[in-house]
Structure 1
Amino acid sequence: MEIALILGQDGITNGAIYALLALALVLVFAVTRVIFIQQGEFVAYGALTLAMMQGGTVPATVWLLLVMGVLVTALDGSAALRAGQVRRAAAVAGWNLVYPLALLAVLAGLPVNELPLAVQVLLTLGVVVPLGPMMYRLMYQPIASAPVLILLIVSVALHITMVGLGLLFFGAEGQRTPAFSDASFDLGPLMISGQTLWVLAVSSLLIVALYQFFERTLYGKALRATAINRVGARLMGISPTLAGKLTFFLAAFIGALSGVLIAPITTIYYDTGFLIALKGFVAAIIGGLASYPVAALGALIVGLLEAFASFWASAYKEVIVFTLIIPVLLWRSLNSRHVEEEE
């Protein structure tokens, strides 16, 4: 029973992270039809960017942010100038060029490794999260109406590119960051670490915040409308470009924050995020890439299955977890009618 409780604790902790990633995958696919394979790279980039800051080094991801910002400014800024929209061109340059330069100056000029952990986390999110909407603008917006297969091929290409850049930026060595808290609590036979409580608390708060965002804010309702009917939302004046950028912003935020949360628990390598996101993808498939509550429940099942499989058959734990997708797909194929993409 003690072993079962310890494995259950590990499974719930991992499941909380998988739930966040599954929600992000479902959201991105529902709004943009993009299977966000590179979600895992945002996890790794978030963790390793924080590790570089704590090591006293300017994170290489800020240079990627600057390069992508220059490209976005060149595209959107020149289009705004040609249309005579000087104020919009200035806003584009401010968000995509001035902001990365200011962030680079802060990271290069301040002793970031001596700053409080909360400030380091905010700076990490400030570097990694804007990569999401920039990626949508540069890679997906020009082909937003393309078939799902084309979008999937682009996602695979971006995943491979980001893994290669991760090796260039962070090297082949793994990194682990200090825990948010050194506290530990005894609950019967269990010893619950402070970092585990941080993961569960932040994950729960983020899920509640996302629920409130979709239920009570105008932008959240716009994303829900786009997810339900993209054409109808466009006819009602909801910009598909804005919806895509906002969706990628949320997905990048969830990925980067997940990386920051798990960095003290496990060693993160440049390619670690792919396997983590793949388990979130299994949970998203359980939810049919459509249902948020079922995807979150599937994430907890994946986490618990992984924890118990690592004890009983550690050499096959990944096989056992990914085999879960086969009966789910079989059941869904038998209970769903075929729908053409045009429908």
Structure 2
Amino acid sequence: MTFDIAILLTQDGLTNGALYALLALALVLVFAVTRVIFIPQGDFVVLGALTLASLQAGHLPPTLYLLLALGGAVGLIDAVACLRSGRAHAVGRVLLIELGYPLALWALCHWLLPLSQSLWLHALLTLAIVVPLGPSLYRLVFQPLAQSSVLVLLIAAIAVHFALVGLNLLGFGPEGVRTAAFSDAVFEIGSMFIASQNLWIVLVSAVLIVALYLFFERALYGKALLATAFNRTGARLVGISPDLAGRLSFAVAALVGTVAGILMGPITTLYYDSGFLIGLKGFVGAIVGGLASYPLAAGGALLVGLLESGSAFYASAFKEVIVFTLIIPVLLWRSLKSHDRGSEE
């Protein structure tokens, strides 16, 4: 391997690792707050990319209809809950929020798409469409199971993953898509060429990670999420709603996944079922952090990106096997560490 090839592989590894780091952080957050191993995290990456591709083609994305269906289901469930609890006055507000938002968004997309082909507008519309799917899925699937075991929540997450894969196939078809790049410029530094799209990915990922850090450290809702992650019972005793914390954590996970999909679309061809492998690589990073440490999860995700890039050069046919084999020594180390602590006690 020459020095130039090593630089290119490192560049690709850091680019992919930055995206996997976002997914790993989202997985750690969701698990800490809700005990859900969020298998569909990668599906939100695919939803983001496919929705953006549909908007760039001038079509109303099928995710709009999914948002409307989920909003209607959530609105119906919440309206019935309001009636049963004697809060009939809140029914109109619930229906307005759950149904009015997707209908208004549908009208906005129908009006704007013929008028503008701006990539930034399409990216904002993609975020507006896909991110609300996260809280809706939590309300419909995971909130009723909040007191269940981790195994039951994992089975539910797998079911949601397969449902989203099927809906992606039904709505978008089996063809792979690539979205337009934010920039086609290429910078030359000595003998090294750096694509501006890769810089966009690293920069946006870094900004989002810093924004999440500030959200948890400074914002009231961010502190509420951290409190729920640290001690769910204690958070409930001081007035923090576990249902609100669950919805908020799923909203953050959906935001992270959608941003990752928008960034990944120009550099990777994504299919309706690509989400599982993408999410699994973020999960490997989260496992390195023990599904508890955000810095270790981010570092593990960067390691996954670099290992994937190097494996693609030396043994491209086995790169997925090599990446996922990383889980084995990590789990072995954590098992031995846990055993040592038990012996000391």
- TM tier, shorter chain? over 0.9
Give the equivalent residue in structure 2 for 1:77. Answer: 79
Give the equivalent residue in structure 2 for 1:53. Answer: 55
SS of residue in 2 equivalent to 1:219: helix
Q: What is the CA–CA distance in structure 2 between the aligned matches of 1:95 and 1:326, rounded to whole Å?
A: 46
Counterpart among 122, 147, 157 of residue 149 in structure 2: 147
The alpha-carbon deviation at position 188 of structure 1 amounts to 2.0
Give the equivalent residue in structure 2 for 1:26. Answer: 28
Q: 1:112 to 1:47 in 2, by over 3 A?
A: farther
The alpha-carbon deviation at position 274 of structure 1 amounts to 1.2
The alpha-carbon deviation at position 337 of structure 1 amounts to 5.0
Q: 1:271 to 1:113 in 2, by over 3 A?
A: farther
Matched, 1:320 2:327: no
Q: What is the CA–CA distance in structure 2 between the aligned matches of 1:210 and 1:5, rounded to whole Å?
A: 30
Counterpart among 134, 137, 160 of residue 135 in structure 1: 137
The alpha-carbon deviation at position 107 of structure 1 amounts to 1.9
Give the equivalent residue in structure 2 for 1:256. Answer: 258
The alpha-carbon deviation at position 87 of structure 1 amounts to 5.1
Q: 1:137 to 1:338 in 2, by over 3 A?
A: farther
Counterpart of 1:290, as a letter, is A
Give the equivalent residue in structure 2 for 1:181. Answer: 183
Give the equivalent residue in structure 2 for 1:43. Answer: 45
Q: 1:113 to 1:266 in 2, by over 3 A?
A: farther
Alpha-carbon contact 1:53-1:112 (below 8 Å) kept: no
Q: 1:33 to 1:337 in 2, by over 3 A?
A: farther
Please show how residues 148-167 of structure 1 align to structure 2 within 5 Å.
148-167=150-169
Counterpart of 2:122, as a letter, is Q
Q: What is the CA–CA distance in structure 2 between the aligned matches of 1:183 and 1:88, rounded to whole Å?
A: 52
Give the equivalent residue in structure 1 for 2:289. Answer: 287
Compare 25-34 and 115-124 and name the one that shifted more: 115-124
Q: What is the CA–CA distance in structure 2 between the aligned matches of 1:257 and 1:219, rounded to whole Å?
A: 21
Alpha-carbon contact 1:55-1:113 (below 8 Å) kept: no
Give the equivalent residue in structure 2 for 1:93. Answer: 95
Q: What is the CA–CA distance in structure 2 between the aligned matches of 1:265 and 1:336, rounded to whole Å?
A: 40
The alpha-carbon deviation at position 182 of structure 1 amounts to 1.6
Counterpart among 175, 191, 194 of residue 193 in structure 2: 191
**For each residue in 1:287-333, what CA deviation from the matched residue of structure 2 results, as whole angstroms up to 9, or x when unmatched?**
00000000000011000000011001111111100000000000001
SS of residue in 2 equivalent to 1:114: coil
Alpha-carbon contact 1:112-1:120 (below 8 Å) kept: no
Matched, 1:111 2:98: no
Alpha-carbon contact 1:56-1:113 (below 8 Å) kept: no
Give the equivalent residue in structure 2 for 1:296. Answer: 298
Unaligned runs of 5+ in 1: none
Counterpart among 291, 306, 309 of residue 308 in structure 2: 306
CA-based RMSD of the aligned residues comes to 1.4
Matched, 1:205 2:198: no
Q: What is the CA–CA distance in structure 2 between the aligned matches of 1:166 and 1:217, rounded to whole Å?
A: 35
Alpha-carbon contact 1:54-1:112 (below 8 Å) kept: no
Q: 1:87 to 1:256 in 2, by over 3 A?
A: farther
Q: What is the CA–CA distance in structure 1 between the aligned matches of 2:69 and 2:36, rounded to whole Å?
A: 23
Q: What is the CA–CA distance in structure 2 between the aligned matches of 1:6 and 1:61, rounded to whole Å?
A: 36
Please show how residues 235-246 of structure 1 align to structure 2 within 5 Å.
235-246=237-248
Alpha-carbon contact 1:30-1:227 (below 8 Å) kept: yes
Counterpart among 221, 224, 230 of residue 222 in structure 1: 224
The alpha-carbon deviation at position 147 of structure 1 amounts to 0.3
Taking only the aligned residue pairs, the percentage that are identical comes to 61
What's the TM-score once normalised by structure 1's chain length? 0.96
SS of residue in 1 equivalent to 2:268: coil
Compare 82-91 and 182-191 and name the one that shifted more: 82-91
The alpha-carbon deviation at position 81 of structure 1 amounts to 3.5
What's the TM-score once normalised by structure 2's chain length? 0.96
Q: How many residues align?
A: 339
Q: What is the CA–CA distance in structure 2 between the aligned matches of 1:168 and 1:190, rounded to whole Å?
A: 43
Q: 1:112 to 1:227 in 2, by over 3 A?
A: farther
The alpha-carbon deviation at position 26 of structure 1 amounts to 0.3
